[in-house]
């Protein structure tokens, strides 16, 4: 009996050994297959492998960044960390949208950047500035029977070229920020886009701000709101000014010889300033020498020769300065005459024409082209028409 039991145990052990051997052989075959083919995609707690997730996130043919309609959206945990462009409403500004959505058309990127740089605040502030510079007749600031506007190009340039009111930029350096904005905006397409976006809004805002404004009148001497006739006058005065600026722009943009003449005038102006500096220097040296001679108990021949030399140098410097001034004035008159001949009848002060010419010259010399100046003149002419049209509506 004992031998039978021992024999049964041996058989059981052999059976177990055979089972273990078969199992190990089977597992080794599976491992070999896995090594050759790679592991299958498995789901663990609702998450697919990175390969499966990539297929889910594969963009559709229109490259909009959205998932394919035929593939269900996976939970956030299943998606690998990839840089996805945000929806437009989540973008901090249009510039960020242009950077992230690289599949947009170039004109859409340009328009986005334009709206990002030139904000509605710029339009509102410009309208307020125009109204503030209008002085109705018989007011403290303008006792004459006709209204006047004191707006000018130099003040506008200082306000928006230096203070950058309503102009968004990221550079901490004012000069760099100004250059970035001007380089981008001074493009024919951008100019037209901005004009189409803001021209009508600007005219409406000017009228609204004018109706809210108060001016101090003389009779009686009190603050009063503007009347409709005053608003009409404001619109017509600014239309006339804008037309004049547009004519100067057009002349400078279309006449190939004018930029060179502006450069000659600027050089003549620099020469006159330098000649004046040299003259002042010689006068100071002569004054010092004269004091030394007056304080000396006895003048020497050397001192007298030095005094005579300084007097001659001063006279020569004075003559150089006189000639430099004359040359500058001739150059200035020639430049003004050509601009006036090309621009027609414009009602601008000479210093205003020169300032505009210098501003345009800087734009061209800094890389912006003449077509942008010409397009600028065209949109200004159209803006003047809009102002006159609104004035006509007010007058009935």
More confident residue, 299 or 346: 346
Q: Tell me, what's the pLDDT at 296?
A: 86
CA torsion 101-103-106-108 (nearest 10°) is -60
Q: Tell me, what's the pLDDT at 258?
A: 87
Evaluate whether 354 touches 336 at the Cβ level (below 8 Å): yes
Boundaries of every domain in the chain? 106-255+369-395, 260-343
Distance from C-alpha of 269 to C-alpha of 327, rounded to nearest angstrom: 9
Q: Per-residue pLDDT tens for 264-294? A: 999 999 999 999 999 999 999 999 999 988 8
**Backbone CA torsion sign across 95, 125, 367, 192:** positive
Percentage of the chain lying above the pLDDT 90 cut: 53
Rounded mean pLDDT of the chain? 78
Q: Per-residue pLDDT tens for 131-175? A: 999 999 999 999 999 999 999 999 999 999 888 999 988 888 888
* CA distances for 17 relative to 13, 21, 23, 25, angstroms: 6, 6, 10, 12
* CA distances for 258 relative to 185, 253, 335, 358, 380, angstroms: 23, 8, 8, 11, 20
**Which of 92-101, 157-166, 212-221, 382-391 is predicted with the least confidence, judged by mean pLDDT?**
92-101
Q: Tell me, what's the pLDDT at 367?
A: 59
Q: Tell me, what's the pLDDT at 97?
A: 40
Give the mean pLDDT of 179-184. Answer: 88
Distance from C-alpha of 65 to C-alpha of 75, rounded to nearest angstrom: 17
pTM above the 0.85 mark? no
Q: Tell me, what's the pLDDT at 192?
A: 95
> Which residues fall within 8 angstroms of residue 203, CB to CB, at 6 or more apart?
383, 386, 387, 390
Give the mean pLDDT of 317-332. Answer: 97
For residue 40, report the phi and psi dihedrals to the nearest 5 degrees.
Answer: -75, 155
More confident residue, 253 or 270: 270
More confident residue, 365 or 247: 247
For residue 314, report the phi and psi dihedrals to the nearest 5 degrees.
Answer: -70, -40
**pLDDT of 194 higher than 60:** yes
**pLDDT of 103 higher than 70:** no
Mean pLDDT comparison of 95-104, 111-120, 314-323, 339-348, highest-scoring range: 314-323
Q: Per-residue pLDDT tens for 13-67? A: 444 444 444 444 444 444 344 344 444 333 333 333 333 333 332 333 333 333 3
Give the DSSP H/E element, type plus range, for residue 379. Answer: helix 370-395
Q: Tell me, what's the pLDDT at 86?
A: 36
Q: Tell me, what's the pLDDT at 17?
A: 47
Q: Hey, is 218 helix, strand or coil?
A: strand
């Amino acid at each position: 009996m004992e031998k039978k039991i021992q024999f049964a145990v041996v058989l059981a052990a052999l059976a177990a050994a055979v089972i273990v051997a078969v199992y190990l052989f089977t597992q080794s075959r599976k491992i070999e297959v896995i090594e050759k083919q790679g592991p299958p995609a498995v789901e663990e707690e609702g998450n697919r492998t990175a390969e499966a997730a990539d297929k889910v996130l594969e963009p559709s043919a229109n490259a909009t960044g959205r998932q394919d309609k035929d593939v269900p959206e996976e939970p956030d945990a299943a998606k690998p960390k990839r840089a996805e462009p945000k929806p437009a409403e989540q973008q901090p500004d249009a510039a960020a949208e242009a950077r992230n959505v690289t599949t947009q058309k170039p004109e859409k990127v340009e328009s986005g950047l334009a709206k990002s740089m030139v904000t509605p605040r710029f339009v509102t502030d410009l309208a307020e500035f125009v109204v503030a510079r209008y002085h109705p007749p018989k007011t403290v600031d303008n006792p004459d029977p006709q209204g006047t506007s004191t707006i000018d190009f130099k003040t506008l340039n200082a306000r928006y070229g230096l203070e950058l009111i309503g102009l968004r930029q990221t550079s901490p350096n004012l000069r760099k920020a100004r250059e970035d904005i001007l380089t981008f905006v001074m493009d024919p397409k951008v100019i037209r886009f901005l004009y189409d976006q803001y021209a009508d809004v600007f005219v409406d805002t000017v009228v609204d701000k004018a109706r809210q404004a108060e001016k101090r009148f003389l009779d009686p001497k009190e603050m009063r709101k503007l009347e409709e006739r005053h608003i009409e006058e404001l619109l017509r005065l600014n239309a006339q000014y804008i037309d004049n600026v547009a004519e100067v722009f057009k002349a400078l943009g279309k006449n190939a010889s004018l930029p060179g003449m502006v450069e000659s005038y600027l050089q003549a102006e620099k020469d006159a300033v330098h000649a004046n500096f040299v003259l002042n220097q010689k006068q100071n040296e002569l004054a010092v020498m004269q004091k030394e001679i007056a304080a000396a108990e006895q003048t020497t021949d050397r001192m007298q020769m030095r005094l005579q030399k300084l007097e001659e140098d001063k006279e020569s410097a004075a003559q150089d300065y006189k000639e430099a001034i004359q040359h500058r004035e001739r150059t200035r008159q020639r430049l003004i005459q050509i601009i006036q001949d090309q621009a027609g009848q414009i009602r601008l002060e000479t210093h205003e024409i020169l300032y505009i010419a210098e501003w345009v010259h800087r734009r061209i010399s800094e890389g912006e082209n003449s077509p942008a100046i010409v397009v600028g003149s065209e949109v200004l002419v159209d803006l003047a028409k809009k102002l006159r049209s609104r004035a006509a509506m007010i007058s009935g």
